[in-house]
Copies of this chain bind each other. A is one copy, B any other.
Amino acid sequence: MSRLVMKFGGTSVANLDRIRNVARHVKREVDAGHDVAVVVSAMAGKTNELVAWCRDASSMHDAREYDAVVASGEQITSGLLAIALQALGIQARSWQGWQIPIRTSDAHASARILEIDGSELISRFTERKEVAVIAGFQGISPQTGRITTLGRGGSDTSAVAIAAAIRADRCDIYTDVDGVYTTDPRVVPKARRLDRIAFEDMLELASQGAKVLQVRSVELGMTQNMPIFVRSSFDAPEDIDPHGTPPGTLICGEEDIMESHVVTGIAFSKDEAQISVRQIEDKPGVAASIFVPLADANINVDMIVQNVSEDGKTTDLTFTVPASDHARARETITRAKDMIGYARLDSATDVAKISVIGSGMRSHAGVAAQAFKALSDKGINIRAITTSEIKFSLLIDTAYTELAVRTLHTLYGLDQT
């Protein structure tokens, strides 16, 4: 017997049939003897509808009222799932954030969880075997007593935080994919589902555009050392052996991964624009003169590459922004030309970023060097390189994206056999 959190997103609870399907998933785990807390999102589309109403009421709407309005979406799902569970003969009750309570900061619409009191939920497991159905995405500010929300996708974070609070053995995230892959299977048919991935690798993979679950929930899993299991909600509940090992990916501590590859996965993004500011003075403050105006314009800068200057006087600085911000970024830099003092501004929108991720890199030298060689053999030019402890990223021409990803996928032994 163990204690589980099961989290279901909006598409998994989109209508009553899907909610009944979720109830059968929960019943399977209850029948297997587990204590179960379920965390639910709003029915698909519901949150967007509520957000649109708030915007319609006022473009400058009060975030506190926004939270009261949008939190109702999860409230509805939690009650409906409790009813559906009871219809299967399972003891269940719904919990709103303020009832548990899930205490958060008062940063409305993007609150952080401060503390969850799991004692009542635990005593109900013990005394009545009651399933807790918890409205995700929401909490309460202890200062004001008002409803808060965690920001979009926050239900993943709710689930991991609840799991830590009730000392669960695992947090299962049911989603519309059956796990985390070495790379996008639509681009690389030989992409392999990972049985396990370290929290750190998942963080890099998630923030590089693998949209399986929220980055914050992975961070929380890492700090709380709570294993997160990503699995599909579309499998028929009856086809799953609760005592077997279902398909999915376990996100866990490195120490729980016996045999790890040096490289875990490859992420890529085609929506990049590259901007190079040529012959700027190599002196303190010049980087700030470029990036402060961009930040003021709310432009998100990703890669930044600056080389050591040859002559100690001038250097080039290259950075990437989302392709949709390319024109605005150029204007912003051009407007700041006098302050920056550069000779030329080059840019390109037909660039892609490839990121190779693996905590195994820390103990393996020459991992990036293999990539440079392999890409060069295929005639792919590398425009820029950045590296971190467990990741390196390359900027290349967009046209070569798929070829580069496939080449590296094979190079690092990630292909399915």
Contact = CB atoms under 8 A, between A and B. Distances in A.
A86 B80 CA distance: 33
Interface string A127-158: 00000000000000000011100000000000
A54 B83 contact: yes
Given A79-B65, A80-B53, A58 B87 contact: yes
Given A50-B76, A72-B76, A93-B65, A16 B57 contact: yes
Contacts of A98: 98
A19 B56 CA distance: 11
B78 A93 contact: no
Contact of A83 (B16, B19, B66, B87): B66
A213 interface: no
A96 interface: yes
A276 to B, nearest CB: 45
B82 A62 contact: yes
Contact of A72 (B75, B83, B87): B75
A147 to B, nearest CB: 8
Contacts of A66: 79, 83
Given A69-B80, A72-B72, A82-B65, A57 B19 contact: yes
A60 interface: yes
B79 A68 contact: yes
Contacts of A147: 96
A61 B85 CA distance: 10
A99 interface: yes
Contacts of A58: 83-84, 86-87
Contacts of A359: none
Given A76-B50, A78-B68, A82-B62, A99 B57 contact: no
Nearest to A71: B75
A64 interface: yes
A94 interface: yes
Contacts of A57: 16, 19-20, 80-81, 83-84, 87
B75 A62 contact: no
B94 A68 contact: yes
A94 B147 CA distance: 11
Interface in A3-35: 16, 19-20
16 contacts: A16-B56, A16-B57, A54-B83, A57-B80, A57-B83, A57-B87, A58-B87, A65-B79, A65-B82, A65-B86, A65-B93, A69-B76, A71-B75, A75-B75, A96-B147, A99-B146
Pick the 10 closest A-B CB pairs, nearest first: A69-B79, A58-B87, A72-B72, A68-B79, A57-B83, A65-B79, A16-B56, A61-B83, A65-B82, A57-B84
Interface of A: 16, 19-20, 50, 53-54, 56-58, 60-62, 64-69, 71-73, 75-76, 78-84, 86-87, 93-94, 96, 98-99, 145-147
